[in-house]
């Protein structure tokens, strides 16, 4: 079973995907980390993020073994990842790797922005996770404060809005729900309730697949 999870920044899709993968015993790929890894390579080499040829090269030579570094999860890398992710040749360079991951005989959970639309259009289950920009900013703000990073709420909200605009407005694989995705709005849900709702969507979809009779 392939589960595709998409949604905007700080929608909670990462936590949900991890928990769904553990629940159903499936491997999980956080595809945002791939773009963050490309952004890190560009920043470390002192290259401008808009240099499409260099970014594509960084994507082709990305070392997956280095993607669990804490620095990749920070706000600076998220913003930089959103810039390199708008380069079509970067997306193309990362396509095969993601499709190979999804071809695991056990199945897989992948989360990102274009999993249901581009990477795994035939996924068994597609969930588009959303929450209002204000609620996402509140969660991100709390998370940053918990890590001792004092950032003004308005700054976090501005960052989220800018990222939404860039990820949704680019021409190559923009963020959008696949036509056959189930929408999961987590604005009023805590993580437990969101997880239960996601499990119910997966079970519903599987039940609907069983031939009648
Ligand atoms: O999910 P995230 O915040 O880690 O993603 C960081 C950036 O990477 C995001 O702003 C857009 C880009 N991204 C993408 O374009 N496609 C994906 N499948 C995953 C992430």
Ligand 1, atom nearest to 163 Cα: 10
Q: Separation of 85 CA from ligand 1 center, angstroms?
A: 7
What domains can be seen in the chain, in order of their start residue?
Answer: 2-207 (3.40.50.300)
Ligand 1, atom nearest to 98 Cα: 18
Ligand 1 close to Cβ of residue 78 (< 6 A):
yes
Best mutation site among 82, 120, 137, 174 for ligand 1 pocket (most ligand atoms within 8 Å of CB)? 82
* pLDDT for 68: 87
Atom 18, ligand 1: residue with shortest CA distance: 112
Geometric angle at alpha carbon 191, from 185 and 196, rounded to 5°: 75
- Token pair listed for 163: 């990222």
* pLDDT for 73: 86
Could you write out the three-class secondary structure of 81-106? Answer: HHHHCCCHHHHHHHHHHHHHHHCCCC
Can you give the pTM of this predicted structure?
A: 0.94
* pLDDT for 211: 62
* pLDDT for 144: 85
* pLDDT for 22: 98
- Token pair listed for 204: 């519903």
* pLDDT for 114: 96
Q: What is the pLDDT along the chain (213 residues), one digit of tens a residue?
A: 999 999 998 899 999 999 999 999 999 999 999 999 999 999 999 999 999 999 999 999 999 899 988 889 888 898 899 999 999 999 999 999 999 999 999 999 999 999 999 999 999 999 999 999 999 999 999 988 888 888 899 999 999 999 999 999 889 889 999 999 999 999 999 999 999 999 999 999 888 876 655
Q: Tally the residues of the chain.
A: 213
Q: How many whole angstroms separate alpha carbon 56 and alpha carbon 68?
A: 21
Best mutation site among 113, 119, 144 for ligand 1 pocket (most ligand atoms within 8 Å of CB)? 113
* pLDDT for 70: 86
CB-CB neighbours of 66 under 10 Å: 12
DSSP code per residue over 32-75: HHHHHHHHHHHHHTT--TT-HHHHHHHHHT--GGGTT-GGGGSH
Q: Separation of 202 CA from ligand 1 center, angstroms?
A: 23
**CB neighbours of 66 closer than 8 A, spacing ≥ 6?**
37
């Amino acid at each position: 079973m392939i589960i595709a999870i998409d949604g905007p920044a700080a929608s909670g899709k990462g936590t949900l995907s991890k928990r769904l993968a553990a629940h159903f015993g499936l491997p999980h790929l956080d595809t945002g980390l791939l773009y963050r890894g490309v952004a890190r390579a560009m920043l470390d080499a002192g290259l401008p993020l808009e240099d499409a040829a260099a970014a594509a090269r960084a994507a082709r030579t990305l070392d997956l073994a280095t993607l669990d570094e804490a620095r990749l999860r920070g706000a600076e890398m998220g913003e930089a990842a959103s810039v390199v992710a708008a380069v079509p040749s970067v997306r193309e360079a990362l396509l095969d790797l993601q499709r190979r991951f999804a071809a695991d005989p056990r199945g897989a959970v992948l989360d990102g922005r274009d999993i249901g639309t581009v990477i795994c259009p035939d996924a068994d289950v597609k969930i588009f996770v959303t929450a209002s920009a204000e609620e996402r900013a509140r969660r991100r703000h709390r998370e940053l404060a918990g890590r001792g990073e004092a950032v003004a709420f308005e700054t976090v909200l501005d960052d989220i809005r800018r990222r939404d605009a860039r990820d949704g407005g680019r021409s190559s694989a923009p963020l959008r729900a696949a036509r056959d995705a189930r929408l999961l709005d987590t604005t009023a849900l805590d993580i437990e309730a969101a997880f239960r709702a996601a499990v119910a969507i997966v079970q519903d979809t599987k039940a609907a697949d069983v031939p009648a009779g």
